[in-house]
Amino acid sequence: MAAARPLLLLLAALGPAGAVWPQPLRQLSPPAAGRCPLSPGLFRFSYASGSAVGPGCAVLDEAFQRYRALIFGAARSAESKQPWRKPCTELSVLVSTPGCDGFPSLNSNESYKLHISRDSLLLYADAVWGALRGLETFSQLVGRDENGTYYVNETEIVDSPRFPHRGLLLDTSRHYLPLKAILQTLDVMAYNKLNVFHWHIVDDPSFPYESFTFPELSKQGAFNAMTHVYTASDVQAVIEYARLRGIRVIAEFDTPGHTQSWGPGAPDLLTPCYLGKDPSGTYGPINPILNSTYQFVTSLFQEVGAVFPDYFLHLGGDEVDFTCWKSNPQIRAFMEEMGFGGDYTKLESFYIQRLLDIVSSLGKGYMVWQEVFDNRVKVRPDTIIHVWKNSPPYKEEMANVTKAGYRALLSAPWYLNRISYGQDWMAAYQVEPLDFTGSPEQKALVIGGEACMWGEYVDVTNLAPRLWPRAGAVAERLWSDATVRNLQDAYVRLASFRCELLRRGVQAQPLFVGYCDHEFDGF
């Protein structure tokens, strides 16, 4: 007796080879498509003549190597004596805009065109970032016939993302994630065409970021200051690894709440809580009434703003608990002095307002969690409001945020740390980010979304299986056209893509009953 009723037709071989995840905008296959056999020994990627970038462009040079390895694995060139069709031995890449050394941004152009015929294999892109997406697509189109020969079917693909911000949040405070786990996650993000790594790097439980301005923060705030920290060179490694995959790194230093781990390394930063007339020995959120607090955050964000090259920093601002502030007599006196009455959201706003001004003056843009908007903090017009709450319904919040003219980023329905029995990727897949009441102008303010993997119950042992392929459901929702929502079709392609992830060495969990030709073999 099966434990669960199959929701969908079980497909023996788990879907067709060559189905691309996330689904491209347009794909035309000629009715009687021919195929190009590919030789592991002879096949190469090259820069087309006329391309604005050429050899020496690290983003593409390294991508060419990665994708050769991903497509052919360890396959050797033994059979290269065969008469391979010349045109099938080379995929030429033509990038029309120069630029290789920069960082991807919210405005990067990720569009590309892929032309696969027996006469030529061509990839066109506006920028290197689109070329990376096209190489990923090409790698997913390659199959093997019954004799083990690699080949790619003739096809034409025109592709570009629906939303420019397609993120994944990892939480390295509740559990420390080793550098290797972060780098592997970046690899799999690229396979899914996700383009923003939201690094929720510190929080209440631990402070693993090694600051050179304030080294005591991690010395005293990390789980282990030797082994459970991200050094400056670790952080640089993450940023460069991400850049080479067209992924932005947005660091989050959440304040004034979620800062317990900051306390030991930053005297007087946190608010002392009181029990009656005496300090209780415990601490609350950052103390918003001291000048020294603002000196501290200025110096810290000066550093963080320089270390992380993305224009945006994520400043948090969520879930501030007022209990401690209320207990503290100096804070109460300040409230009175400022005329805030008993409204502690005003005190929170007072802090956030000053923080935002500090970060603006550093030449950085910011993203904040929705409470900052809900509490009517005056934010800059280019602020991105990150919607995460489910009650009241997130659709209402998306409507309110965009009505006020701010750009919105959706995460509320995509807390993938939450799991349940069955195919819970489907709920994530069926979300429609623009399904809220609002004008076309409001809808245009939605820049995308992020899947979140909060770390209470997640460390390196279960990170990959919990993320993949479930985060792929979010990736397709954010990349593919709104009309791509058929669950049966998505199941077949996602199951097939998950098999491809196993082949690439990713410990991705199954969707349902079935098997893969290449099972996970990472022991």
Ligand X SMILES: *[C@@H]1O[C@H](CO)[C@@H](O)[C@H](O)[C@H]1NC(C)=O
Q: Which stretch binds ligand X (CB under 6 A): 39-47, 145-153, 239-247, 475-483?
A: 145-153
Return the amino acid letter for 2: A
Q: Minimum Å distance from CB 116 to ligand X?
A: 10
Which distant-in-sequence residues (6+ apart) come within 8 Å of 478 by Cβ? 22, 161, 162, 163, 165, 166, 194, 433, 448, 449
* Residue selected from 49, 147, 420, 483 as contacting ligand X according to rule CB under 6 A: 147
Indicate the residue among 18 and 54 with the shorter CB distance to ligand X: 18
How do strand 121-125 and strand 112-116 relate by DSSP bridges?
antiparallel
**Alpha-carbon span 307 to 355, nearest angstrom:** 18
Q: Which of residues 151-170 bind ligand X (CB under 6 A)?
A: 153
* Stretch of 138-146, 167-175, 187-195, 309-317 lying at the interface with ligand X (CB under 6 A): 138-146
Alpha-carbon span 201 to 210, nearest angstrom: 11
**Interaction between residue 11 and ligand X (CB under 6 A):** no
Among 54, 87, 99, 143, binds ligand X (CB under 6 A): 143
Residue of this chain nearest to ligand X (CB atom)? 18
Q: Which stretch, 38-46, 139-147, 224-232, 497-505, contacts ligand X (CB under 6 A)?
A: 139-147
16 part of the interface to ligand X, by CB under 6 A: yes
Asked whether position 400 contacts ligand X by CB under 6 A, the answer is yes
What's the min distance (Å) between Cβ of 127 and ligand X? 7
Query: Among 171, 203, 348, 397, which residue sits at the site for ligand X (rule: CB under 6 A)?
Result: 397
C-beta closer to ligand X: residue 293 or 327: 293
Q: Which residues contact 62 (CB under 8 A, 6 or more apart)?
A: 244
Instruction: Based on the shown chain and the rule CB under 6 A, indicate whether residue 126 belongs to the binding site for ligand X.
Output: yes
Non-local CB neighbours of 76 within 8 Å, separated by 6+ positions:
40, 41
**E-strand spans in 137-277?**
142-144, 150-153, 155-159, 165-171, 196-200, 248-255, 270-275
Active site residues: 319
As a whole number of angstroms, the distance between CA 210 and CA 411 comes to: 28
**Which of 8, 13, 25, 33 contacts ligand X by CB under 6 A?**
33
In this chain, which of 18, 41, 99, 264 binds ligand X, going by CB under 6 A?
18
396 binds ligand X (CB under 6 A): yes
Kindly tell me which of 109 and 298 has the beta carbon lying closer to ligand X: 109
Residues 376-395 that bind ligand X (CB under 6 A): 392
Could you identify the residue written with the tokens 């929702």? 477
Taking CB under 6 A as the rule, does residue 450 contact ligand X? Answer: no
Q: Is residue 291 a contact residue for ligand X (CB under 6 A)?
A: yes
26, 30, 85, 145: which one binds ligand X (CB under 6 A) = 145
With respect to ligand X, which residue has the nearer C-beta, 186 or 499?
A: 499
Burial of 420 (0-12, 13-18, 19+ CB in 10 A): exposed
Q: How far is the CB of 33 from ligand X (least distance, A)?
A: 6
Q: Environment class of residue 6 by beta-carbon count within 10 Å: exposed (0-12), middle (13-18) or buried (19+)?
A: exposed
CB of 169 to ligand X, least distance (A): 21
Measured CA to CA in angstroms, residue 148 lies from 75, 135, 142, 144, 188 at distances of 10, 22, 12, 5, 25
Mark the segment that binds ligand X (CB under 6 A) among 11-19, 264-272, 463-471, 485-493. 11-19
Q: Tell me the window of 12-20, 54-62, 355-363, 489-497 that interacts with ligand X (CB under 6 A).
A: 12-20
CB 222, min distance to ligand X, A: 31
Contact 207, 261 (CB under 8 A): yes
Name the DSSP letter for residue 360.
H
Eight-state DSSP code of residue 382 = T
The residue count for binding ligand X (CB under 6 A) is 19
Site string for ligand X, 106-125 (x = CB under 6 A): ---x-x--------------
- Closest C-alpha among 169, 276, 176 to residue 230: 176
**DSSP bridge pairs for 242:** none
Q: What share of the chain is helix, strand, coil (3-state, %, to 5)?
A: 35, 20, 45
Which residues sit at the interface with ligand X, rule CB under 6 A? 16-18, 33, 109, 111, 126, 141, 143, 145-147, 153, 291, 374, 392, 396-397, 400
